[in-house]
C-alpha cells in the first residue's frame, strides 16, 4: 500500500532527531513558522488517546507553531476522529498523485524559458525567491537557500526555469531526498508574469525523470487544486489516494 511508503518518507524527511509524542513524529523548522514546514505524521494504524493529542498540541504550542498534521488517512484511519474530537479542523483533502521516471510524458515549455537542474550555487537563491513569491511567503532568507542546498547535497533535486532574455529565474521546484526509492515533488512555483507557458509541467517532468538517476523510483505530490492536478496528470502522474492536512487553532 503506497500510503505506508509516503508515511515512511515523511518520517525520514523529518530527520533522525525528530521528536516523538505518543504515536506521532513531529517535523519542525527552527527558522520558519510556515505551516508547510511544521507538521506531524502519525504512525501507521495509530489510535491516539485524548491525552496523546493534547500532548501533541502542547509540543507545537511550546515551539510557537500551529498544531497540524499532513498524512494519508488510509494508513491511519483512526487518527482523524481523535483529532476532530480535540477541535482540529481539516485544511483540505488533496489527491495523492504518483509517477515513476519511466512514465513521464514530455512537457515542453515556452522556448523563451530554459528549464534545468540547479546546482548548489546562485540558482538556489533564484529558486528560493520564486518559491517564496509563488506561495506568498515573506522575504527570502539564507535559511530558505540552505534548505534547498541540503536537498541537493543530500541527493535530492532542485529545478529552475530561467528566462533566456533576462537571465532571471522565473520558476522552480524540488524533488526531496529519497527514502527507500520514494520522494516528494514539492514547491512547484512560477512567477505570475510567466504562468500559462507550460513551465510548471516542464519543471515537474524534469524533476520526475531525473529522479531515476538520483535513486527515486516513485515520486509523489499533492496538488493544491484541480488546475494544478491537471498539470501533473498531463506529465504522467496518476491518483492513488488522498492526503489530509488538518490543524488546530
Domain shared by 132 and 25, yes or no: no
Q: Is residue 19 part of a domain?
A: yes
Domain shared by 75 and 116, yes or no: no
Per-residue pLDDT of the chain (249 residues; tens, 9 = 90+): 699 999 999 999 999 999 999 999 999 999 899 999 999 999 999 999 999 999 999 999 999 999 999 999 999 999 999 999 999 999 999 999 999 999 999 888 889 999 999 987 778 999 999 999 988 876 899 999 999 999 999 999 999 999 999 999 999 999 999 999 999 999 999 999 999 999 999 999 999 999 999 999 999 999 988 889 999 999 999 999 999 999 998
| Host domain of residue 153 | 101-241
Q: Are 21 and 53 in contact (CB under 8 A)?
A: no
Residue 141's CB: how many other CB atoms inside 10 A? 14
The x, y and z cell numbers of residue 224, run together, are: 493544491
Angle at the Cα of 47 from the Cα atoms of 46 and 48, rounded to 5 degrees: 105
Domain shared by 118 and 237, yes or no: yes
Q: Is residue 17 part of a domain?
A: yes
Q: Is residue 249 part of a domain?
A: no
The x, y and z cell numbers of residue 150, run together, are: 541540503
Domain shared by 135 and 235, yes or no: yes
Domain count, the chain: 2
User: What sign does the CA torsion over 8, 10, 16, 17 have?
Assistant: negative
Domain shared by 153 and 213, yes or no: yes
Q: Is residue 248 part of a domain?
A: no
Q: Are 97 and 233 in contact (CB under 8 A)?
A: yes
Of 61, 95, 129, which one is at a domain's C-terminal end? 95
Domain shared by 236 and 114, yes or no: yes
Domain shared by 151 and 232, yes or no: yes
CA distances from 52 to 10, 20, 77, 81, 188 (A): 20, 11, 16, 13, 34
Domain shared by 159 and 204, yes or no: yes
CATH of the domain at 215: 3.40.630.30
Q: Record the pTM.
A: 0.94
Cα separation, 204 vs 122, whole angstroms: 21
Contacts of 151 (CB under 8 A, 6+ apart): 157, 158, 174, 176, 177
User: What sign does the CA torsion over 70, 74, 79, 83 have?
Assistant: positive
Domain shared by 83 and 24, yes or no: yes
Q: Is residue 246 part of a domain?
A: no
Q: Is residue 75 part of a domain?
A: yes
Amino acid at each position: 500500500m503506497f500510503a505506508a511508503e509516503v508515511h515512511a518518507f515523511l518520517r525520514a524527511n523529518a530527520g533522525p532527531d525528530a521528536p516523538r509524542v505518543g504515536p506521532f513524529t513531529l517535523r519542525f523548522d527552527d527558522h520558519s513558522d510556515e505551516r508547510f514546514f511544521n507538521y506531524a505524521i502519525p504512525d501507521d494504524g495509530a489510535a491516539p488517546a485524548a491525552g496523546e493529542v493534547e500532548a501533541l498540541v502542547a509540543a507545537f504550542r511550546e515551539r510557537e507553531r500551529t498544531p497540524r498534521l499532513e498524512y494519508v488517512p488510509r494508513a491511519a484511519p483512526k487518527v482523524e476522529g481523535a483529532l476532530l474530537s480535540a477541535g482540529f479542523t481539516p485544511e483540505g483533502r488533496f489527491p495523492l498523485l504518483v509517477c515513476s521516471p519511466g512514465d513521464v510524458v514530455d512537457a515542453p515549455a515556452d522556448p523563451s524559458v530554459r528549464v534545468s537542474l540547479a546546482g548548489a550555487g546562485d540558482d538556489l537563491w533564484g529558486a528560493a525567491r520564486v518559491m517564496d513569491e509563488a506561495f506568498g511567503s515573506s522575504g527570502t532568507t539564507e535559511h530558505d537557500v540552505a534548505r534547498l542546498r541540503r536537498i541537493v547535497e543530500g541527493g535530492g533535486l532542485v529545478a529552475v526555469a530561467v528566462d533566456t532574455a533576462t537571465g532571471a529565474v522565473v520558476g522552480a521546484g524540488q524533488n526531496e531526498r529519497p527514502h527507500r526509492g520514494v520522494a516528494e515533488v514539492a514547491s512547484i512555483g512560477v512567477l505570475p508574469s510567466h504562468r500559462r507557458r507550460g513551465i510548471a509541467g516542464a519543471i515537474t517532468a524534469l524533476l520526475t525523470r531525473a529522479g531515476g538517476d538520483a535513486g527515486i523510483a516513485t515520486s509523489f505530490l499533492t496538488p493544491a487544486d484541480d488546475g494544478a492536478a491537471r498539470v501533473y496528470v498531463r506529465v504522467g502522474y496518476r491518483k492513488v489516494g488522498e492526503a489530509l492536512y488538518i490543524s488546530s487553532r
